[in-house]
Every structure is written in C-alpha cells, then in structure tokens.
C-alpha cells in the first residue's frame, strides 16, 4: 500500500509534494512500533466513540435529507417517513396475493400433485417395479404396497378401500378378478394391487366398484365390495357363524388380520408397556401357543386354531439415526405373555360395532373379531349362553395376553419433555390426504403396529361402505384418541 501511494503522489511522477509528504509521515508512524500502538489505540477509541442523544436527535430530525445527502441518505431513522409503513404493508399484501395466485394456478391443473403425493408416487413406482420382478409377488406381502389398502368384511361381503398413487381423473379404475387373482389400478398404469385372494368369490354376484372421487385431487379409489363364494356366513335362528366363513386374511401370504378393520386383537398402550389381547377358544393350551418378540417385530402362532399373527412396531427413524446401537421400540428381554380364562385374564378383544336397529340381530353374530374364526363366536356374547346351543359353545373362551415392555425414558424426555414418552402417540401425522382437514390429518398419534396405520384416510371410507351394505360400521379408536375405550355392541338377547 505504501509503494502504490508513493508511486501515485511522487513529484517526479506528476503528483503533489504535499500529498507525498503525508504519505511519508504515515509511513514513519506505521514503521515505528510505539507510534503504531498509539495510533491503533486512538483509532479504536474513535471508532467506538459515544454520541450524545441530543446530537443524534438533531441529526436524524433533519427534513431536507435528500438535498443534503444526495441519493444515499443516512441510516434507518431516515427511512421511516410519512407513508412508508403503508407502502410496506401494501407490498406485503401484494406479495401474499401473488403467492396465492401462483398456488391457485398450480392447483388448477388436474394433474397437479403435492410434494407429499410425489414422494408417495415415486415410492410406489419403485416398490411396484420391484414386486413385478419377483415371481411370487402375488402371494407375498409387500409393506410398501400393503399400506395402500385396507379391508373389512360382513356376513355376506368383503369391502376393500384402496389409495391410488398413480391415479388420474382422466383414467378409469380397472378392477378384475381372474383365477382368484385381484388386479386393481388405473388404466394404462401399474396395478396398485395384484394379489391372489385368500377365499373364493361368488361368480354370480356382481362386483361393486365406486371409484369416483369427491374432489379432483382425491386419488382414493374406494370402496368396492364383492360377495363370498359360499354365500356368506349368516346362520339359522341361533345366529351361529360357520368357522370357515370368515376370512382370516385378504390375500395369500398376508398375516392374519393384516390391514383389516378392525384388527383381530385388542391393543392397550400404557406408560411402560403395550398389552395385546387375543381371544382364543377354550380348548387352547399354553403348549399350543408360540410367541416370538423381537426388537422390531413380533409373531404369535396358535396350533389347532391356525392363527398366525405377525406385526412390526412403529419405528422412530430420527431416534434410530441418533442412537443406532441402543434404540429399540420394545425390550424383548422384559416382555412376557400369559394364557388365562376370559374371566380371570381380562376382557377378550371384541370388535366395536354400531349397528342400526334393523340390523341388530345380524350384528350379534359378528360382534367379535372375524379373523379369529371360531373363537369369535365362542366369546362373542356372554348372554347367548342361555340360548339352545351345544355345550362346547357355552364354554368360556380363553384370552392370550402379550405384554410388550417399553424402554426407559431417555434423559431428553425426562428433562425437556416433562417425562412424556416420545413414542407413536406423540408422532406427527402426515398431511398427504388433501381433502377436508380433520383431526385425523392435523393431530398427533399413529398406530403402534405399522400394519394397522392408515395414512390415506381409508378407515372412514370403509365405515361409510359398511353402513351402506350392512347398516352398521366397525368402530376403532383413532390413534390421536388412544385413551378412549372401545365401544362394544350390546349382546343379542335370546
């Protein structure tokens, strides 16, 4: 810097002698360490000098600032002039209006998809392509594709609701059942469901499909119903249910009750454990039951009944990434199970049903969970024991109770979360469904088992379809209301 200034102001180079003298004086000051220290101290004090308030008010209260300072006025007090706040508010409203217009123009496109819908579409395309490459995709459960549908059943019909990630308003929904294989999907696209059905259908009964969405961006193709091949499970005057009538699973290769509404068990989530209760017939013994509890899944098998239940726990990906070596949703070492009678081992699980008065008699025969087969009739209604039924049917059923121990609270939960466990009950629900915003989309809480979670609003569609074909609907407490008990239908009178 000194050389550049010296060349510029040297008299021999056409500069000024006075300016060159000032450069020489500056070099003498900066070259001496003591004088340089004094100069730095004075410059620091000048940089942080205090300005009296009266002087600042006098300076900032000047009116003719544009004429005094040109096109570069002083600092912030000069900007707050008369009408400036109104101008800023108007500019803010204009920007909000522009964003709203852009959003409205974007959503007016019938093929528009939100970011969440695009993520689901990419995930579906990848999973569907991988499933189609497998030779056993028709008899194999895929968790990514399985979460796109849910189902339930009545005495005469099976009702299924499905979300179509690749659905479009200008493409019809194609549904066909050929050789016991269901194929469901939009025309010209990958099938969302291409699986082998577990039971036989009635070839003479029509297949009802309702695929017209309520809104242009609603891609839920549901519900559809078809009749059973054996003509249903409605019995005679006693209302007995044939053990082979209820479907344990919708597709071949699924676990019992997978994606079923309601599930074939009762689940109670406490502060330190999760209790699973399954109703079983009276002849089941402890040696017939096999319970396998693992860090990420559990499996229950009952010999003689043919029950095979497999479920995966809710997984906190954030905590798993933070503590990959220690995180586990369930502690298998502290978990246990027991088999007891109905009276001594807690109430067995009953599916909640809200039937119409005209369908009360028909609802009594299915007031228990259908996926447990004959056990559903054994423990359905205690008052039915006075009816004229075989002695074996008047025996009290048994209840299998599985207690899944939860891990201890973390230090963060104790210190910053007021001792509240950050589990599935505190998880935020997704906002993929862009229909009417209800508490299901804006609340907290998801199902403890991944196979029971409804991410696309399919449960209300199934309940509406049940009212249409049966006059009543299964009632399952939503995950954001996990403290509400399950309402059980009243037993049938003899």
In a domain, 110, yes or no: no
- What's the CA gap between 297 and 308, in Å, rounded? 13
**Do 326 and 209 belong together in one domain?**
yes
**Do 140 and 27 belong together in one domain?**
no
**Do 163 and 43 belong together in one domain?**
no
DSSP assignment of 6-72 equals HHHH-GGGT--HHHHHHHHHHHHHHHSHHHHHHHHHHHHHHHT----HHHHHHHHT-S-HHHHHTTS
- What's the CA gap between 186 and 175, in Å, rounded? 9
In a domain, 257, yes or no: yes
Task: Give the residues of the chain that fall short of pLDDT 50.
Answer: 63-66, 75-78, 214-217, 222, 227-244, 343-389, 391-392, 434-437, 439-441, 485-494
| Assigned token pair, 196 | 């082998």
> Residues 143-198: pLDDT tens digits?
999 999 999 988 888 889 999 998 888 888 888 888 889 999 988 889 999 999 98
**Do 297 and 397 belong together in one domain?**
yes
pLDDT for position 379: 25
Strands across the sheet with 289-293, in order? 289-293, 297-302, 307-312
Question: How many distinct structural domains can be found in the chain?
Answer: 2
In a domain, 141, yes or no: yes
- What's the CA gap between 193 and 250, in Å, rounded? 11
Is the pTM value of this prediction over 0.75? Answer: no
- What's the CA gap between 94 and 78, in Å, rounded? 24
| 152: helix, strand or coil | strand
In a domain, 96, yes or no: no
The residue segments making up the domain with residue 134 are 117-481
pLDDT for position 207: 80
pLDDT for position 299: 95
- What's the CA gap between 380 and 243, in Å, rounded? 13
In a domain, 104, yes or no: no
pLDDT for position 70: 52
| Assigned token pair, 86 | 């109104």
**Do 132 and 4 belong together in one domain?**
no
In a domain, 254, yes or no: yes
In a domain, 94, yes or no: no
């Amino acid at each position: 810097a000194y050389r550049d200034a010296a060349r510029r102001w040297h008299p021999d180079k056409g500069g000024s002698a006075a300016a060159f003298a000032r450069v020489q004086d500056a070099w003498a000051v900066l070259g001496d360490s003591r004088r340089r220290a004094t100069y730095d101290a004075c410059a620091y004090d000048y940089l942080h000098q205090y300005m009296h308030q009266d002087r600042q008010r006098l300076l900032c209260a000047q009116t003719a600032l544009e004429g005094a300072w040109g096109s570069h006025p002083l600092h912030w007090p000069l900007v707050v002039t008369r009408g400036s706040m109104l101008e800023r508010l108007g500019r803010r409203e204009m920007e909000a209006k522009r964003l709203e217009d852009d959003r409205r123009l974007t959503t007016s496109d019938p093929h528009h998809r939100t970011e969440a819908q695009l993520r689901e579409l990419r995930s579906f395309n990848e999973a569907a392509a991988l499933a189609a490459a497998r030779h056993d995709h028709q008899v194999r459960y895929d968790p990514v594709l399985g979460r796109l549908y849910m189902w339930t059943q009545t005495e005469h019909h099976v009702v299924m609701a499905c979300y179509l990630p690749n659905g479009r308003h200008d493409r019809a929904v194609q549904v066909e059942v050929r050789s016991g294989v269901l194929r469901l999907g939009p025309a010209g696209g990958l099938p969302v469901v291409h699986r082998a059905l577990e039971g036989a259908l009635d070839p003479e009964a029509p297949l009802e499909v309702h695929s017209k969405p309520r809104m242009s961006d609603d891609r839920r193709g549901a519900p559809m119903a078809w009749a059973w091949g054996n003509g249903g499970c409605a019995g005679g005057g006693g209302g007995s249910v044939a053990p082979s009538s209820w479907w344990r699973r919708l597709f071949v290769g699924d676990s019992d009750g997978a994606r079923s509404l309601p599930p074939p068990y009762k689940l109670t989530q406490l502060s330190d454990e999760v209790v699973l209760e399954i109703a079983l017939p009276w002849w089941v013994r402890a040696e017939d039951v096999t319970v396998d509890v693992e860090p990420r899944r559990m499996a229950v098998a009952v010999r003689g009944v043919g029950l095979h239940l497999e479920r995966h726990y809710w997984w906190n990906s954030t905590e798993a990434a933070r503590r990959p070596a220690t995180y586990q949703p369930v502690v298998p070492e502290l978990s246990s199970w027991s088999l007891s009678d109905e009276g001594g081992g807690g109430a067995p699980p009953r599916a909640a049903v809200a039937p119409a008065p005209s369908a009360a008699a028909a609802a009594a025969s299915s007031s228990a969970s259908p996926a447990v087969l004959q056990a559903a009739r054994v423990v359905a209604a205690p008052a039915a024991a006075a009816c004229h039924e075989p002695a074996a049917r008047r025996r009290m059923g048994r209840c299998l109770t599985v207690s899944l121990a939860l891990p201890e609270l973390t230090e963060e939960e104790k210190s910053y979360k007021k001792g509240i466990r950050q589990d599935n009950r505190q998880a935020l629900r997704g906002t993929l469904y862009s229909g009417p915003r209800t508490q299901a989309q804006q609340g907290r809480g998801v199902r403890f088992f991944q196979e029971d979670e409804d991410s696309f609003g399919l449960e209300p569609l199934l309940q509406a379809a049940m009212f249409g074909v049966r006059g009543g609907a299964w009632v399952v407490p939503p995950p954001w209301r996990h403290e509400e008990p399950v309402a059980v239908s009243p037993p049938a009178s003899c």
